[in-house]
């Protein structure tokens, strides 16, 4: 559901809505009414609407761990509009997964590598390209069945608990993986947990992740178009078997990829 702001004559106007943890909301506003936007008192930039002139949008993500309400204000010419998104907890499923012991409990010799790769990714996600690099709908990274949904609670080898930060597609080793939309490759390397990985910047703080590849066909800094082949599916990193992990990051917050695609594509 898209939410429309409208500044009225009152000093402060308020709206309320709901959002699931791991979900997102897309706000839309007339360009002439787009002021200083803050989400929980942190500044966020309005983006040009990808398909309609004269409108701005803002994507508001809720992390998997979100519990508190999200407060959004838009201030212009001494007037402010307030929206409160109440976070509801979604009933995510639970999975038990068997992986190589070294992937469940990494040896000390690889801990520096894991931390380095984590910090590299965070630095990328925090570096926001100001404008959207896309002007069309997102597509699935491959044509296949979904085997694991975002948010599923996971127990690796009966010891490590986490949650699934993306959507898994069934894939044999060597199947074509494509870019979900236009963008610029920011990461293309072999990583300890994610295996051979590609991360694409779509502008506006939107990133897509493609993990556990058998082969990478792109380089950092390369511009890609929607549908371009970026690699082949595989079984690298922390896996129980070959598949493609597809993830979406919004301003350093991991969200449900299927929810993101549905909501973003509704803008067209």
Which residues of the chain are in CATH 2.70.70.10 domains?
94-265
pLDDT, tens digit, 9 for 90 and up, residues 77-110: 999 989 999 999 998 887 676 767 766 678 899 9
Q: What is the mean pLDDT of the chain?
A: 91
Domain 2-88 has CATH 2.60.40.10: yes
pLDDT, tens digit, 9 for 90 and up, residues 137-150: 999 999 999 999 99
d(CA 77, CA 75): 7
pLDDT, tens digit, 9 for 90 and up, residues 180-199: 999 999 999 999 999 999 99
Which CATH topology does 94-265 take? Glucose Permease (Domain IIA) (2.70.70)
Quote helix, strand, coil % in the chain, to nearest 5. Answer: 15, 45, 40
d(CA 29, CA 105): 48
Which residues of the chain are in CATH 2.60.40.10 domains?
2-88
Cβ burial, residue 76 (10 Å; 0-12/13-18/19+): middle
Mean pLDDT of 50-77: 96
Residue 199 has, within 13 A of its CA and on its CB side, a CA count of: 25
**Residue 8 confidence (pLDDT) above 50:** no
Residues paired with residue 201 on neighbouring β-strands, in sequence order = 184, 207
d(CA 213, CA 189): 10
- Say which residue, 165 or 5, is predicted with more confidence: 165
pLDDT for res 14: 54
């Amino acid at each position: 559901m898209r939410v429309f702001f409208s500044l009225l004559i009152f000093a402060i106007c308020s709206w309320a809505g709901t959002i699931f943890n791991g979900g997102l909301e897309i706000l839309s506003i007339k360009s002439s009414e787009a002021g200083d936007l803050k989400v929980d008192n942190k500044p966020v930039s309005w983006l040009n609407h990808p398909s309609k002139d004269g409108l701005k949008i803002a994507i508001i993500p809720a992390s998997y761990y979100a519990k508190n309400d999200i407060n959004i204000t838009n201030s212009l010419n001494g007037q402010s509009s307030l929206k409160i998104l109440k976070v509801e907890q979604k009933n995510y499923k639970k999975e038990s997964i068997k992986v190589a012991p070294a992937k469940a409990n990494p040896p000390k010799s690889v801990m520096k590598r894991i931390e380095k790769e984590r910090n590299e990714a965070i630095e990328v996600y925090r570096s926001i390209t100001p404008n959207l690099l896309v002007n069309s709908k997102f597509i699935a990274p491959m044509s296949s069945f979904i085997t694991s949904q975002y948010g599923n609670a996971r127990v690796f080898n009966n010891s490590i608990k986490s949650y699934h930060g993306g959507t898994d597609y069934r894939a044999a080793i060597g199947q074509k993986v494509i870019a979900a939309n236009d963008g610029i490759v920011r990461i293309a390397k072999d990583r300890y947990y994610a295996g051979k990985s590609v991360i694409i910047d779509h502008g506006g703080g939107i990133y897509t992740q493609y993990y556990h590849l058998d082969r990478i066909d792109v380089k950092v800094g390369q511009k890609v178009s929607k549908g371009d082949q970026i690699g082949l599916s595989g079984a690298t990193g922390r896996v129980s078997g070959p598949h493609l992990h597809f993830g979406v990051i919004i301003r350093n917050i991991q969200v449900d990829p299927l929810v993101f695609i549905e909501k973003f594509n509704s803008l067209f």
